[in-house]
Amino acid sequence: MASYFLAPSLVTLRAEINKRWPKRSKASDGWIGDTSHSARASDHNPAWGASGRSRGIVRAIDVTSSGIDANDVIRDLMQDPRTYYIIHKGRIRSRTYGFANRVYTGSNAHNSHIHISVMHTEAAGFRQGVWLSKVAKSPLGRSVSASKMRAAFKAAKAGRVTKLPNAGAVQRMLKKKGCNPGKIDGRIGPATFRAFRQFERQQDFKFADGIPSSRGLVVLFKGAVLPTRIVK
């Protein structure tokens, strides 16, 4: 039987984290499943049923959260198409649910580390491109402030118009997804507000009030040409 191995994409991620925080703790680091993992389905177990060069691949790592900026890492992970799901401090963010911050009901809350699983595709397992924006020579993509967007959309609901960085990007993504924001002018106004509310309804969001949540912005920017991070 061939040897098991950690997904090369996750090897790259671990190296980037080590480079950015060289003095971080590694007390809770890990990747290959123990006895408890082997008794159940887990991405920490080698995928012996996978075909080709993926046979034996392990698609998950645990990274100790002490000594790193866990929130910053998680934000970058949510923007990467290789990420399947993330667990940390009793919360799970999964691509299946648009990376909404949900309660994790597993027996291990992952309080001391971040669990990261990649998608079950060859591309996700083997593509070794940059994960963390601050590791690159220059920042990757753009950052969109959820709090500033919320304030602008609340003003738009009341009929006011706000010029805001990356507002044009929001308008373009709305138009791309079939929701007409009117003129793409970098200003959040009533037309953009109505378009975002239409987008929320299109996505079957529970609260379609036209005021973007962080999750709503993450879902909106899925498929954007320029990688986009949603920050506070």
Q: What is the DSSP string of 87-150?
A: EETTEEEEGGGTT--EE--SS----SEEEEEE-SSHHHHH------GGGSSS--SEEEEHHHHH
pLDDT given at position 120: 97
Q: Please check whether residue 6 is in contact with residue 60, taking contact to mean a CB–CB distance below 8 angstroms.
A: no
For residues 59 and 124, what is the distance between their CA atoms, to the nearest angstrom?
A: 9
pLDDT given at position 141: 67
Confidence of residue 226 (pLDDT cuts 50, 70, 90): confident
Q: What is the mean pLDDT of residues 150-159?
A: 97
Strands (E), the chain: 5-6, 57-58, 60-64, 83-88, 91-94, 102-103, 113-118, 142-145, 162-163, 187-188, 228-231
Rounded to the nearest angstrom, the gap between the alpha carbon of residue 117 and the centroid of all alpha carbons in its chain is 11
Q: What is the mean pLDDT of residues 56-81?
A: 94
Kindly tell me the burial class for residue 87, based on how many C-beta atoms sit within 10 Å of its own C-beta (0-12, 13-18, 19 or more): buried
pLDDT given at position 197: 96
Per-residue pLDDT tens digits for 75-91: 899 989 999 999 999 99
pLDDT given at position 138: 45
pLDDT given at position 223: 83
pLDDT given at position 229: 87
pLDDT given at position 142: 83
Q: How far is CA 27 from CA 30, 58, 68, 69, 172, in A?
A: 9, 20, 13, 16, 44
Relative to beta strand 113-118, strand 83-88 is antiparallel
* Residue 111, amino acid: N
N-terminal to C-terminal alpha carbon distance within the chain:
48
Please check the confidence at residue 217 and state whether its pLDDT lies above 90: yes
**Average pLDDT over the chain, rounded to an integer:** 91
The β-bridge partners of 163 are 187
Q: What is the mean pLDDT of residues 17-41?
A: 85
pLDDT given at position 36: 62
Please check the confidence at residue 224 and state whether its pLDDT lies above 90: no
Q: Please check whether residue 115 is in contact with residue 96, taking contact to mean a CB–CB distance below 8 angstroms.
A: no
Q: Which two tokens stand for residue 112?
A: 């001391």
Q: Please check whether residue 179 is in contact with residue 196, taking contact to mean a CB–CB distance below 8 angstroms.
A: yes
What's the full length of the chain, in residues? 232
Per-residue pLDDT tens digits for 122-143: 999 999 988 987 655 444 568 8
Please state the domain extents for the chain: 5-134, 142-231
pLDDT given at position 134: 66
Residues 32-66 as b/e (b if ≥16 CB within 10 A, e otherwise) read: ebeeeeeeeebbbbbbeeeeeebeebbbbbbbbbe
- Which tops the pLDDT comparison, 121 or 133? 121
Confidence of residue 65 (pLDDT cuts 50, 70, 90): very high
Confidence of residue 178 (pLDDT cuts 50, 70, 90): very high
Overall fold of domain 142-231: Muramoyl-pentapeptide Carboxypeptidase; domain 1 (1.10.101)
Q: Can you give the pTM of this predicted structure? A: 0.60
Three-state DSSP state, 198: helix
Q: What is the mean pLDDT of residues 215-220?
A: 93
